[in-house]
Amino acid sequence: MTERYAPAGPVPHVPDDLTLVQFMLDSQHPTRPVRPDGVPWLIEDTTGRRVGSEEIRARVFGLANGLHSEFNIGEDDVVCLYSPNHIDYPVAIWATHRLGAIISGANPSYTAEELAYQISLVKAKLLIVHPDSLQTAITAANAAGISSDRIVLFDDGSTSGHRSRTVQRLIDDGLANPPSFVERRLKPGEAKAKLAFLSFSSGTTGRPKAVAIPHYAPIANVIQMAMHHKITVKSLPEDRRRFRPGDTAILVLPMYHIYGLVVNLHLMLYAAVTPVVIPRFNYENMLKSIVKYRIVHLFLVPPQVVLLCKHPVTKKYDLSHVKFCMAGAAPVSKELTEDLVKILPNADVGQGYGMTETCTVIAMIPTEQKIGVLGSAGQLIPGVVARVVKENGSLAKPGELGELVVKSPSNALGYFNNIEATKDSFIDGWVRTGDEVTIDENAELFVVDRLKEIMKVRGFQVAPAELEGHLLAHPDVADVCVVGISDEYSGEVPLAFIVPHENAVERMKDGPTEADKIKASIAKHVADHKTSYKHLAGGVEFIDSIPKNPSGKLLRRVLRDKAKAMKKSTAMTIKSKL
Protein backbone atom coordinates (compact mmCIF):
# COMPACT_ATOMS: atom_id res chain seq x y z
CA MET A 1 0.00 0.00 0.00
CA THR A 2 1.27 3.46 -0.86
CA GLU A 3 -1.16 5.33 1.40
CA ARG A 4 -0.71 4.81 5.11
CA TYR A 5 -3.51 4.61 7.68
CA ALA A 6 -3.69 4.49 11.45
CA PRO A 7 -3.65 0.96 12.94
CA ALA A 8 -6.45 2.01 15.32
CA GLY A 9 -8.91 2.29 12.43
CA PRO A 10 -11.16 5.09 11.18
CA VAL A 11 -12.26 8.03 13.27
CA PRO A 12 -15.75 7.76 14.83
CA HIS A 13 -18.53 10.23 14.09
CA VAL A 14 -17.52 13.88 14.35
CA PRO A 15 -20.42 16.32 14.92
CA ASP A 16 -20.53 18.90 12.14
CA ASP A 17 -23.25 21.16 13.53
CA LEU A 18 -21.54 22.33 16.73
CA THR A 19 -19.17 25.16 17.53
CA LEU A 20 -16.13 24.27 19.60
CA VAL A 21 -17.63 25.78 22.76
CA GLN A 22 -20.85 23.81 22.29
CA PHE A 23 -18.83 20.64 21.81
CA MET A 24 -16.75 21.28 24.94
CA LEU A 25 -19.37 22.70 27.32
CA ASP A 26 -22.77 21.50 26.11
CA SER A 27 -22.45 18.03 24.55
CA GLN A 28 -21.31 14.48 25.17
CA HIS A 29 -19.60 11.97 22.87
CA PRO A 30 -18.88 8.21 23.17
CA THR A 31 -15.14 8.90 23.26
CA ARG A 32 -15.46 11.32 26.20
CA PRO A 33 -15.29 10.21 29.83
CA VAL A 34 -17.44 11.82 32.52
CA ARG A 35 -15.61 14.29 34.73
CA PRO A 36 -16.09 13.21 38.37
CA ASP A 37 -17.77 15.58 40.79
CA GLY A 38 -15.30 17.87 42.47
CA VAL A 39 -12.65 17.58 39.76
CA PRO A 40 -11.91 21.12 38.57
CA TRP A 41 -11.58 22.09 34.94
CA LEU A 42 -8.59 24.35 35.55
CA ILE A 43 -6.13 25.19 38.32
CA GLU A 44 -4.36 28.54 38.41
CA ASP A 45 -0.70 27.83 39.13
CA THR A 46 0.18 31.05 40.92
CA THR A 47 -2.76 31.05 43.37
CA GLY A 48 -3.98 27.45 43.46
CA ARG A 49 -7.46 28.66 42.50
CA ARG A 50 -9.64 25.82 41.20
CA VAL A 51 -12.25 26.60 38.55
CA GLY A 52 -15.11 24.11 38.19
CA SER A 53 -17.55 23.42 35.38
CA GLU A 54 -20.36 25.69 36.59
CA GLU A 55 -18.01 28.62 37.10
CA ILE A 56 -16.54 28.06 33.62
CA ARG A 57 -19.98 28.09 32.01
CA ALA A 58 -21.05 31.18 33.94
CA ARG A 59 -17.89 33.09 33.08
CA VAL A 60 -18.17 32.15 29.42
CA PHE A 61 -21.76 33.36 29.23
CA GLY A 62 -21.02 36.53 31.21
CA LEU A 63 -18.07 37.47 29.01
CA ALA A 64 -20.00 36.71 25.81
CA ASN A 65 -22.88 38.89 26.99
CA GLY A 66 -20.49 41.68 27.99
CA LEU A 67 -18.56 41.56 24.71
CA HIS A 68 -21.75 41.76 22.71
CA SER A 69 -23.36 44.50 24.82
CA GLU A 70 -20.33 46.77 25.05
CA PHE A 71 -18.48 46.13 21.79
CA ASN A 72 -21.17 44.58 19.57
CA ILE A 73 -18.96 41.57 18.88
CA GLY A 74 -20.93 39.19 16.71
CA GLU A 75 -20.95 36.79 13.80
CA ASP A 76 -17.54 36.44 12.09
CA ASP A 77 -15.91 39.34 13.94
CA VAL A 78 -12.30 38.66 14.96
CA VAL A 79 -11.04 38.99 18.53
CA CYS A 80 -7.26 38.98 18.99
CA LEU A 81 -5.84 37.53 22.22
CA TYR A 82 -2.42 38.96 23.04
CA SER A 83 -1.37 37.42 26.32
CA PRO A 84 0.63 34.67 27.96
CA ASN A 85 -1.39 31.84 29.47
CA HIS A 86 -4.13 33.06 31.79
CA ILE A 87 -6.88 31.24 33.67
CA ASP A 88 -9.45 33.19 31.59
CA TYR A 89 -7.76 32.54 28.23
CA PRO A 90 -10.09 29.60 27.41
CA VAL A 91 -13.01 31.62 28.76
CA ALA A 92 -12.20 34.34 26.23
CA ILE A 93 -11.99 31.76 23.43
CA TRP A 94 -15.30 30.12 24.24
CA ALA A 95 -17.13 33.41 24.93
CA THR A 96 -16.06 34.63 21.51
CA HIS A 97 -17.30 31.39 19.96
CA ARG A 98 -20.67 31.73 21.73
CA LEU A 99 -21.11 34.91 19.68
CA GLY A 100 -20.19 33.24 16.40
CA ALA A 101 -16.96 35.25 16.30
CA ILE A 102 -13.39 34.17 15.56
CA ILE A 103 -10.27 34.01 17.76
CA SER A 104 -6.78 34.96 16.58
CA GLY A 105 -4.15 34.27 19.23
CA ALA A 106 -0.98 36.38 19.09
CA ASN A 107 2.43 35.60 20.52
CA PRO A 108 2.77 37.72 23.70
CA SER A 109 6.43 38.35 22.87
CA TYR A 110 5.56 40.05 19.58
CA THR A 111 6.80 43.55 19.00
CA ALA A 112 4.27 46.26 18.22
CA GLU A 113 5.16 45.98 14.53
CA GLU A 114 4.57 42.22 14.47
CA LEU A 115 1.31 42.52 16.40
CA ALA A 116 0.06 45.31 14.14
CA TYR A 117 0.69 43.07 11.12
CA GLN A 118 -1.46 40.32 12.64
CA ILE A 119 -4.24 42.70 13.69
CA SER A 120 -4.38 44.21 10.22
CA LEU A 121 -4.27 40.90 8.38
CA VAL A 122 -7.17 39.34 10.30
CA LYS A 123 -9.06 42.68 10.60
CA ALA A 124 -9.50 42.28 14.36
CA LYS A 125 -12.35 44.26 15.95
CA LEU A 126 -11.15 43.87 19.56
CA LEU A 127 -7.99 43.01 21.50
CA ILE A 128 -7.89 41.17 24.82
CA VAL A 129 -4.42 41.60 26.29
CA HIS A 130 -2.38 41.07 29.42
CA PRO A 131 -1.71 44.25 31.43
CA ASP A 132 2.06 43.78 31.03
CA SER A 133 1.62 44.10 27.27
CA LEU A 134 -0.76 47.05 27.28
CA GLN A 135 1.62 49.68 25.88
CA THR A 136 2.74 47.40 23.05
CA ALA A 137 -0.91 46.61 22.30
CA ILE A 138 -1.86 50.29 22.21
CA THR A 139 1.00 51.07 19.82
CA ALA A 140 0.06 48.15 17.58
CA ALA A 141 -3.64 48.98 17.67
CA ASN A 142 -2.99 52.59 16.69
CA ALA A 143 -0.80 51.43 13.80
CA ALA A 144 -3.58 49.10 12.66
CA GLY A 145 -6.25 51.79 12.95
CA ILE A 146 -7.98 50.44 16.07
CA SER A 147 -8.90 52.71 18.97
CA SER A 148 -7.36 51.90 22.34
CA ASP A 149 -10.95 51.91 23.64
CA ARG A 150 -11.28 48.49 22.01
CA ILE A 151 -8.61 46.92 24.21
CA VAL A 152 -9.78 44.75 27.10
CA LEU A 153 -7.41 43.52 29.79
CA PHE A 154 -7.09 40.17 31.45
CA ASP A 155 -7.11 40.78 35.21
CA ASP A 156 -3.87 40.50 37.17
CA GLY A 157 -5.01 41.90 40.52
CA SER A 158 -3.44 45.33 39.98
CA THR A 159 -5.16 48.65 39.39
CA SER A 160 -4.69 51.47 36.92
CA GLY A 161 -6.78 53.83 34.86
CA HIS A 162 -7.27 51.32 32.06
CA ARG A 163 -8.56 48.62 34.40
CA SER A 164 -12.18 49.69 33.92
CA ARG A 165 -12.15 47.62 30.70
CA THR A 166 -11.27 44.22 32.08
CA VAL A 167 -12.47 40.70 31.42
CA GLN A 168 -13.74 40.46 34.99
CA ARG A 169 -15.77 43.67 34.70
CA LEU A 170 -17.33 42.46 31.44
CA ILE A 171 -18.18 39.12 33.07
CA ASP A 172 -19.77 40.87 36.04
CA ASP A 173 -21.81 43.14 33.77
CA GLY A 174 -22.76 40.26 31.51
CA LEU A 175 -24.02 38.17 34.40
CA ALA A 176 -25.93 41.09 35.90
CA ASN A 177 -27.87 41.85 32.71
CA PRO A 178 -30.31 39.91 30.51
CA PRO A 179 -28.89 38.12 27.46
CA SER A 180 -28.15 40.54 24.63
CA PHE A 181 -27.40 37.85 22.05
CA VAL A 182 -28.93 34.64 20.76
CA GLU A 183 -26.48 31.78 20.30
CA ARG A 184 -27.31 29.77 17.23
CA ARG A 185 -26.90 26.10 16.41
CA LEU A 186 -25.04 25.53 13.18
CA LYS A 187 -26.72 23.83 10.26
CA PRO A 188 -25.58 20.26 9.46
CA GLY A 189 -22.16 20.49 7.83
CA GLU A 190 -21.70 24.18 8.66
CA ALA A 191 -18.98 23.51 11.27
CA LYS A 192 -16.72 22.39 8.43
CA ALA A 193 -16.69 25.90 6.98
CA LYS A 194 -17.40 28.29 9.86
CA LEU A 195 -14.16 29.76 11.18
CA ALA A 196 -13.15 29.27 14.80
CA PHE A 197 -9.50 30.39 14.69
CA LEU A 198 -7.13 32.40 12.57
CA SER A 199 -3.92 30.90 13.93
CA PHE A 200 -0.59 32.06 12.63
CA SER A 201 1.93 29.92 10.81
CA SER A 202 4.78 30.74 8.48
CA GLY A 203 3.51 28.25 5.92
CA THR A 204 6.15 27.50 3.31
CA THR A 205 7.71 30.91 2.76
CA GLY A 206 7.24 34.60 3.45
CA ARG A 207 5.71 36.47 6.34
CA PRO A 208 3.46 34.65 8.83
CA LYS A 209 0.10 33.62 7.43
CA ALA A 210 -3.27 33.24 9.13
CA VAL A 211 -4.41 29.62 8.95
CA ALA A 212 -8.20 29.43 8.59
CA ILE A 213 -9.37 26.76 11.04
CA PRO A 214 -13.07 25.83 11.13
CA HIS A 215 -14.82 24.59 14.28
CA TYR A 216 -14.96 21.07 12.88
CA ALA A 217 -11.14 20.78 12.78
CA PRO A 218 -10.28 20.98 16.53
CA ILE A 219 -13.40 18.96 17.36
CA ALA A 220 -12.26 16.24 14.96
CA ASN A 221 -8.68 16.29 16.24
CA VAL A 222 -9.77 15.96 19.88
CA ILE A 223 -11.93 12.94 18.97
CA GLN A 224 -9.10 11.47 16.88
CA MET A 225 -6.65 11.76 19.79
CA ALA A 226 -9.21 10.43 22.29
CA MET A 227 -9.67 7.33 20.17
CA HIS A 228 -5.92 6.98 19.64
CA HIS A 229 -5.34 7.01 23.39
CA LYS A 230 -8.36 4.75 24.04
CA ILE A 231 -9.61 7.10 26.71
CA THR A 232 -12.97 5.37 27.21
CA VAL A 233 -11.92 1.78 26.38
CA LYS A 234 -13.03 -0.16 29.48
CA SER A 235 -11.09 -3.30 28.62
CA LEU A 236 -7.73 -1.53 28.83
CA PRO A 237 -5.75 -2.62 31.92
CA GLU A 238 -5.75 0.01 34.64
CA ASP A 239 -1.99 0.47 34.46
CA ARG A 240 -2.24 1.21 30.70
CA ARG A 241 -5.02 3.79 30.96
CA ARG A 242 -3.04 6.84 30.01
CA PHE A 243 -5.39 9.75 30.76
CA ARG A 244 -7.61 9.09 33.76
CA PRO A 245 -10.37 11.40 34.98
CA GLY A 246 -9.02 13.49 37.84
CA ASP A 247 -5.40 13.45 36.63
CA THR A 248 -3.49 16.72 36.39
CA ALA A 249 -1.56 18.00 33.38
CA ILE A 250 0.86 20.85 32.98
CA LEU A 251 -0.31 23.71 30.75
CA VAL A 252 2.88 25.68 30.24
CA LEU A 253 2.78 25.58 26.45
CA PRO A 254 1.32 28.85 25.14
CA MET A 255 -2.37 28.61 24.30
CA TYR A 256 -1.99 30.87 21.26
CA HIS A 257 0.14 28.05 19.74
CA ILE A 258 -1.79 25.22 18.12
CA TYR A 259 -0.05 22.53 20.24
CA GLY A 260 -0.99 24.23 23.50
CA LEU A 261 -4.45 25.15 22.24
CA VAL A 262 -5.71 21.81 20.92
CA VAL A 263 -3.63 19.09 22.59
CA ASN A 264 -2.70 20.58 25.93
CA LEU A 265 -5.95 22.48 26.61
CA HIS A 266 -8.87 20.95 24.72
CA LEU A 267 -7.79 17.28 24.69
CA MET A 268 -6.99 17.32 28.40
CA LEU A 269 -10.29 18.96 29.31
CA TYR A 270 -12.13 16.49 27.07
CA ALA A 271 -10.35 13.61 28.85
CA ALA A 272 -11.53 14.92 32.27
CA VAL A 273 -7.94 15.83 33.15
CA THR A 274 -7.24 19.10 34.97
CA PRO A 275 -4.64 21.41 33.37
CA VAL A 276 -2.58 23.56 35.72
CA VAL A 277 -2.32 26.92 33.93
CA ILE A 278 1.21 28.33 34.10
CA PRO A 279 1.49 31.90 32.74
CA ARG A 280 5.13 31.90 31.66
CA PHE A 281 7.82 29.29 31.37
CA ASN A 282 10.53 29.34 34.03
CA TYR A 283 12.29 26.01 34.33
CA GLU A 284 12.71 25.64 38.08
CA ASN A 285 9.28 27.14 38.75
CA MET A 286 7.86 24.55 36.38
CA LEU A 287 9.52 21.79 38.39
CA LYS A 288 8.10 23.25 41.60
CA SER A 289 4.61 23.24 40.07
CA ILE A 290 4.96 19.63 38.91
CA VAL A 291 5.73 18.61 42.48
CA LYS A 292 3.25 20.95 44.19
CA TYR A 293 0.24 19.86 42.12
CA ARG A 294 1.38 16.27 41.58
CA ILE A 295 1.21 16.83 37.84
CA VAL A 296 1.34 13.50 36.04
CA HIS A 297 1.10 14.56 32.36
CA LEU A 298 3.78 16.70 30.74
CA PHE A 299 3.36 18.26 27.29
CA LEU A 300 6.65 19.84 26.32
CA VAL A 301 8.77 21.11 23.45
CA PRO A 302 12.36 19.97 22.83
CA PRO A 303 14.11 22.86 24.64
CA GLN A 304 12.22 21.93 27.81
CA VAL A 305 13.21 18.29 27.34
CA VAL A 306 16.85 19.38 27.05
CA LEU A 307 16.53 21.23 30.36
CA LEU A 308 14.94 18.22 32.05
CA CYS A 309 17.84 16.06 30.94
CA LYS A 310 20.77 18.44 31.36
CA HIS A 311 19.99 21.18 33.86
CA PRO A 312 21.58 20.44 37.26
CA VAL A 313 18.54 21.70 39.19
CA THR A 314 16.47 18.75 37.92
CA LYS A 315 18.09 16.48 40.51
CA LYS A 316 16.55 18.51 43.35
CA TYR A 317 13.01 17.41 42.44
CA ASP A 318 11.26 14.06 42.72
CA LEU A 319 9.50 13.44 39.39
CA SER A 320 8.76 9.77 39.99
CA HIS A 321 4.99 10.40 39.99
CA VAL A 322 4.97 11.61 36.35
CA LYS A 323 3.08 9.10 34.16
CA PHE A 324 3.32 10.60 30.69
CA CYS A 325 5.60 12.95 28.80
CA MET A 326 5.18 13.92 25.17
CA ALA A 327 7.43 16.23 23.17
CA GLY A 328 6.17 17.97 20.08
CA ALA A 329 6.69 20.95 17.75
CA ALA A 330 10.14 19.70 16.66
CA PRO A 331 12.00 16.35 16.60
CA VAL A 332 13.74 14.89 19.65
CA SER A 333 16.81 12.76 19.05
CA LYS A 334 17.13 9.11 20.07
CA GLU A 335 19.87 10.03 22.56
CA LEU A 336 17.79 12.74 24.22
CA THR A 337 14.81 10.38 24.47
CA GLU A 338 16.99 7.80 26.21
CA ASP A 339 18.15 10.46 28.69
CA LEU A 340 14.55 11.54 29.32
CA VAL A 341 13.52 7.98 30.16
CA LYS A 342 16.13 7.99 32.93
CA ILE A 343 14.79 11.29 34.33
CA LEU A 344 11.15 10.06 34.24
CA PRO A 345 11.50 6.35 35.06
CA ASN A 346 7.77 5.70 35.59
CA ALA A 347 6.44 7.67 32.63
CA ASP A 348 5.35 6.78 29.14
CA VAL A 349 7.70 8.82 26.97
CA GLY A 350 7.28 9.63 23.29
CA GLN A 351 6.70 12.22 20.62
CA GLY A 352 3.91 13.73 18.59
CA TYR A 353 3.79 15.43 15.22
CA GLY A 354 1.42 18.03 13.87
CA MET A 355 1.04 21.43 12.26
CA THR A 356 -1.16 24.48 12.48
CA GLU A 357 -2.30 23.59 8.97
CA THR A 358 -3.52 20.17 10.19
CA CYS A 359 -4.99 21.47 13.46
CA THR A 360 -3.09 19.70 15.00
CA VAL A 361 -1.87 16.16 15.56
CA ILE A 362 -1.08 13.74 12.77
CA ALA A 363 0.90 11.22 14.82
CA MET A 364 1.41 10.45 18.54
CA ILE A 365 2.87 7.76 20.74
CA PRO A 366 0.15 5.08 21.11
CA THR A 367 -0.98 3.57 24.40
CA GLU A 368 0.61 0.22 23.51
CA GLN A 369 4.07 1.79 23.81
CA LYS A 370 5.56 2.78 27.13
CA ILE A 371 8.56 4.22 25.33
CA GLY A 372 7.94 5.51 21.83
CA VAL A 373 9.91 4.00 18.99
CA LEU A 374 13.24 5.83 19.20
CA GLY A 375 13.46 8.52 16.55
CA SER A 376 9.78 8.24 15.70
CA ALA A 377 7.50 11.28 15.77
CA GLY A 378 4.65 8.93 16.69
CA GLN A 379 2.14 6.63 15.05
CA LEU A 380 -0.55 7.92 12.71
CA ILE A 381 -3.78 8.66 14.58
CA PRO A 382 -7.27 7.55 13.47
CA GLY A 383 -8.72 9.40 10.51
CA VAL A 384 -5.35 10.39 9.05
CA VAL A 385 -4.33 9.24 5.59
CA ALA A 386 -0.67 9.84 4.77
CA ARG A 387 1.28 9.78 1.56
CA VAL A 388 5.04 9.99 1.21
CA VAL A 389 5.70 11.60 -2.17
CA LYS A 390 9.09 11.09 -3.78
CA GLU A 391 10.88 13.75 -5.85
CA ASN A 392 9.61 12.21 -9.09
CA GLY A 393 6.01 12.48 -7.86
CA SER A 394 5.53 8.77 -7.22
CA LEU A 395 4.39 7.44 -3.87
CA ALA A 396 7.06 5.95 -1.62
CA LYS A 397 6.87 2.48 -0.20
CA PRO A 398 7.24 1.92 3.57
CA GLY A 399 10.70 3.05 4.65
CA GLU A 400 11.34 5.16 1.53
CA LEU A 401 12.01 8.90 1.73
CA GLY A 402 9.68 11.59 0.47
CA GLU A 403 7.56 14.60 1.40
CA LEU A 404 4.75 13.94 3.86
CA VAL A 405 1.32 14.85 2.45
CA VAL A 406 -1.69 14.24 4.69
CA LYS A 407 -5.48 14.19 4.63
CA SER A 408 -7.33 14.45 7.92
CA PRO A 409 -10.76 15.64 9.09
CA SER A 410 -8.85 18.17 11.17
CA ASN A 411 -7.15 19.86 8.20
CA ALA A 412 -7.53 23.62 8.01
CA LEU A 413 -9.26 25.30 5.09
CA GLY A 414 -6.21 27.19 3.86
CA TYR A 415 -4.52 30.53 4.45
CA PHE A 416 -6.87 33.44 5.16
CA ASN A 417 -7.06 35.86 2.22
CA ASN A 418 -4.03 34.26 0.55
CA ILE A 419 -5.07 32.27 -2.49
CA GLU A 420 -1.57 31.69 -3.88
CA ALA A 421 -0.11 30.33 -0.64
CA THR A 422 -3.19 28.15 -0.18
CA LYS A 423 -2.71 26.65 -3.65
CA ASP A 424 0.87 25.70 -2.75
CA SER A 425 0.06 23.83 0.47
CA PHE A 426 -3.64 22.81 0.33
CA ILE A 427 -4.39 20.54 -2.63
CA ASP A 428 -7.69 18.69 -3.06
CA GLY A 429 -8.14 18.07 0.66
CA TRP A 430 -4.47 17.22 1.24
CA VAL A 431 -1.87 19.32 3.07
CA ARG A 432 1.75 19.39 1.94
CA THR A 433 3.82 19.45 5.13
CA GLY A 434 7.20 20.30 3.60
CA ASP A 435 8.82 17.65 5.78
CA GLU A 436 10.95 14.83 4.39
CA VAL A 437 9.89 11.64 6.16
CA THR A 438 9.64 7.90 6.11
CA ILE A 439 6.68 5.85 7.38
CA ASP A 440 7.22 2.22 8.28
CA GLU A 441 4.90 -0.78 8.13
CA ASN A 442 3.51 0.06 11.59
CA ALA A 443 2.52 3.60 10.54
CA GLU A 444 5.37 5.07 12.60
CA LEU A 445 6.41 8.46 11.26
CA PHE A 446 10.10 9.43 11.11
CA VAL A 447 10.94 13.05 10.27
CA VAL A 448 14.28 13.19 8.43
CA ASP A 449 14.61 16.79 7.26
CA ARG A 450 12.70 19.90 6.31
CA LEU A 451 12.16 20.31 2.59
CA LYS A 452 10.55 23.69 2.90
CA GLU A 453 12.46 26.72 4.03
CA ILE A 454 10.81 27.29 7.39
CA MET A 455 12.99 26.93 10.48
CA LYS A 456 11.75 25.57 13.78
CA VAL A 457 13.26 27.61 16.62
CA ARG A 458 12.23 26.35 20.07
CA GLY A 459 9.13 24.96 18.39
CA PHE A 460 8.21 28.28 16.74
CA GLN A 461 8.18 28.74 12.99
CA VAL A 462 10.57 31.30 11.50
CA ALA A 463 10.44 32.12 7.79
CA PRO A 464 13.84 33.01 6.32
CA ALA A 465 12.16 35.28 3.78
CA GLU A 466 10.72 37.45 6.57
CA LEU A 467 14.16 37.98 8.10
CA GLU A 468 15.79 38.46 4.70
CA GLY A 469 13.32 41.18 3.77
CA HIS A 470 14.01 42.95 7.04
CA LEU A 471 17.80 42.60 6.74
CA LEU A 472 17.83 44.09 3.26
CA ALA A 473 16.62 47.33 4.83
CA HIS A 474 19.94 47.64 6.69
CA PRO A 475 22.28 50.02 4.85
CA ASP A 476 25.27 47.68 5.12
CA VAL A 477 23.46 44.71 3.54
CA ALA A 478 23.65 44.24 -0.22
CA ASP A 479 22.27 40.70 -0.34
CA VAL A 480 21.33 38.08 2.21
CA CYS A 481 20.32 34.48 2.74
CA VAL A 482 19.12 33.19 6.12
CA VAL A 483 19.39 29.51 6.99
CA GLY A 484 18.77 27.42 10.07
CA ILE A 485 21.71 25.92 11.92
CA SER A 486 21.17 23.04 14.30
CA ASP A 487 21.28 23.71 18.03
CA GLU A 488 20.70 21.23 20.82
CA TYR A 489 18.57 23.57 22.91
CA SER A 490 16.58 25.47 20.26
CA GLY A 491 16.48 22.82 17.56
CA GLU A 492 17.51 25.41 15.01
CA VAL A 493 18.60 29.04 15.15
CA PRO A 494 18.81 31.60 12.33
CA LEU A 495 22.17 32.31 10.71
CA ALA A 496 22.46 35.17 8.21
CA PHE A 497 24.88 34.98 5.30
CA ILE A 498 25.41 38.60 4.28
CA VAL A 499 26.94 40.15 1.17
CA PRO A 500 28.10 43.48 2.61
CA HIS A 501 27.34 46.73 0.79
CA GLU A 502 30.33 48.33 -0.94
CA ASN A 503 30.35 51.13 1.65
CA ALA A 504 30.66 48.54 4.40
CA VAL A 505 33.45 46.79 2.50
CA GLU A 506 35.37 50.06 2.37
CA ARG A 507 34.93 50.64 6.09
CA MET A 508 36.13 47.11 6.87
CA LYS A 509 39.46 47.96 5.27
CA ASP A 510 40.17 50.18 8.31
CA GLY A 511 40.65 47.13 10.51
CA PRO A 512 39.14 43.84 11.73
CA THR A 513 37.11 45.46 14.49
CA GLU A 514 35.00 47.32 11.93
CA ALA A 515 33.65 44.02 10.57
CA ASP A 516 32.61 43.02 14.08
CA LYS A 517 30.83 46.35 14.53
CA ILE A 518 28.93 45.89 11.29
CA LYS A 519 27.90 42.35 12.23
CA ALA A 520 26.72 43.57 15.63
CA SER A 521 24.72 46.36 13.97
CA ILE A 522 23.06 43.89 11.61
CA ALA A 523 22.15 41.54 14.48
CA LYS A 524 20.76 44.48 16.47
CA HIS A 525 18.65 45.50 13.48
CA VAL A 526 16.80 42.20 13.83
CA ALA A 527 16.74 42.19 17.64
CA ASP A 528 15.18 45.66 17.74
CA HIS A 529 12.25 44.71 15.50
CA LYS A 530 11.60 40.99 15.87
CA THR A 531 10.55 38.73 18.71
CA SER A 532 13.37 36.91 20.50
CA TYR A 533 13.21 33.53 18.76
CA LYS A 534 13.76 35.29 15.40
CA HIS A 535 17.04 36.86 16.55
CA LEU A 536 20.22 35.84 14.72
CA ALA A 537 21.46 33.46 17.42
CA GLY A 538 23.42 31.59 14.75
CA GLY A 539 25.31 34.77 13.98
CA VAL A 540 26.18 36.82 10.91
CA GLU A 541 28.65 35.56 8.32
CA PHE A 542 29.98 37.66 5.45
CA ILE A 543 30.11 36.06 2.02
CA ASP A 544 31.14 37.28 -1.44
CA SER A 545 27.89 36.27 -3.16
CA ILE A 546 24.66 34.42 -2.50
CA PRO A 547 24.40 31.27 -4.65
CA LYS A 548 21.37 31.35 -6.95
CA ASN A 549 20.02 29.33 -9.83
CA PRO A 550 19.67 30.83 -13.33
CA SER A 551 16.17 32.11 -12.52
CA GLY A 552 17.45 33.95 -9.45
CA LYS A 553 16.09 31.60 -6.78
CA LEU A 554 18.26 31.32 -3.67
CA LEU A 555 20.11 28.01 -3.46
CA ARG A 556 19.48 27.86 0.26
CA ARG A 557 20.57 24.25 0.62
CA VAL A 558 24.09 25.19 -0.55
CA LEU A 559 24.44 27.64 2.33
CA ARG A 560 22.78 25.24 4.77
CA ASP A 561 25.50 22.74 3.90
CA LYS A 562 28.13 25.46 4.30
CA ALA A 563 26.76 26.33 7.73
CA LYS A 564 26.85 22.68 8.79
CA ALA A 565 30.48 22.43 7.69
CA MET A 566 31.35 25.63 9.56
CA LYS A 567 29.75 24.34 12.73
CA LYS A 568 31.44 20.97 12.41
CA SER A 569 34.83 22.69 12.08
CA THR A 570 33.99 24.82 15.18
CA ALA A 571 34.28 27.95 13.06
CA MET A 572 31.13 29.39 14.57
CA THR A 573 29.53 29.88 17.98
CA ILE A 574 25.83 29.41 18.65
CA LYS A 575 24.43 31.94 21.12
CA SER A 576 21.63 29.72 22.35
CA LYS A 577 22.22 28.68 25.96
CA LEU A 578 20.51 26.62 28.65
Judge whether residue 247 has pLDDT over 60: yes
Judge whether residue 383 has pLDDT over 70: yes
Higher model confidence: residue 351 or residue 561? 351
pLDDT number for residue 520: 94
461 and 555 fall within a common domain:
yes
Judge whether residue 465 has pLDDT over 80: no
Higher model confidence: residue 191 or residue 339? 191
* Cβ–Cβ under 8 Å, residues 414 and 426: yes
Judge whether residue 203 has pLDDT over 60: no
Domain that holds residue 327: 3-14+198-450
Judge whether residue 450 has pLDDT over 80: no
First vs last Cα of the chain: how many Å apart? 44
Classify residue 251 by its DSSP letter.
E
Of the pLDDT bands very low, low, confident and very high (cuts 50, 70, 90), residue 167 is very high
Taking residues 417-428, report their average pLDDT.
93
* Nearest-angstrom CA–CA distance, 284 and 134: 28
Residue 391 lies in a domain: yes
Residue 28 lies in a domain: no
Residue 573 lies in a domain: no
Residue 232 lies in a domain: yes
Torsion angle in degrees (nearest 10) through CA of 18, 21, 25, 27: 10
Share of the chain above pLDDT 90, in %: 69
Higher model confidence: residue 301 or residue 451? 301
437 and 488 fall within a common domain:
no
312 and 402 fall within a common domain:
yes
Judge whether residue 206 has pLDDT over 80: no
Domain boundary among 450, 465, 487: 450
Taking residues 544-573, report their average pLDDT.
73
pLDDT number for residue 159: 45
149 and 268 fall within a common domain:
no
265 and 357 fall within a common domain:
yes
Higher model confidence: residue 451 or residue 160? 451
Give whole-number Cα distances, 455 to 34, 192, 329, in Å: 41, 30, 11
311 and 404 fall within a common domain:
yes
135 and 215 fall within a common domain:
no
* Nearest-angstrom CA–CA distance, 518 and 481: 17
Taking residues 438-457, report their average pLDDT.
83
Of the pLDDT bands very low, low, confident and very high (cuts 50, 70, 90), residue 575 is low
Residue 526 lies in a domain: yes
207 and 338 fall within a common domain:
yes
Mean pLDDT of the chain: 90
Judge whether residue 464 has pLDDT over 90: no
pLDDT, tens only, 228-243: 999 998 777 777 789 9
pLDDT number for residue 8: 83
Residue 19 lies in a domain: no
57 and 170 fall within a common domain:
yes
The CATH number assigned to the domain holding 141 equals 3.40.50.980
Least confident of 131-140, 172-181, 496-505: 496-505
pLDDT number for residue 332: 78
The CATH number assigned to the domain holding 370 equals 3.40.50.12780
The CATH number assigned to the domain holding 500 equals 3.30.300.30
DSSP symbols for 405-422: EEE-TT---EETT-HHHH
Residue 32 lies in a domain: no
Share of the chain above pLDDT 70, in %: 94
Domain boundary among 450, 481, 496: 450
In the chain, how many domains are there? 3
Q: Is the pTM of this model over 0.85?
A: no
Residue 270 lies in a domain: yes
pLDDT number for residue 252: 95
271 and 419 fall within a common domain:
yes
* Nearest-angstrom CA–CA distance, 326 and 40: 23
Residue 203: other Cβ atoms inside 10 A: 27
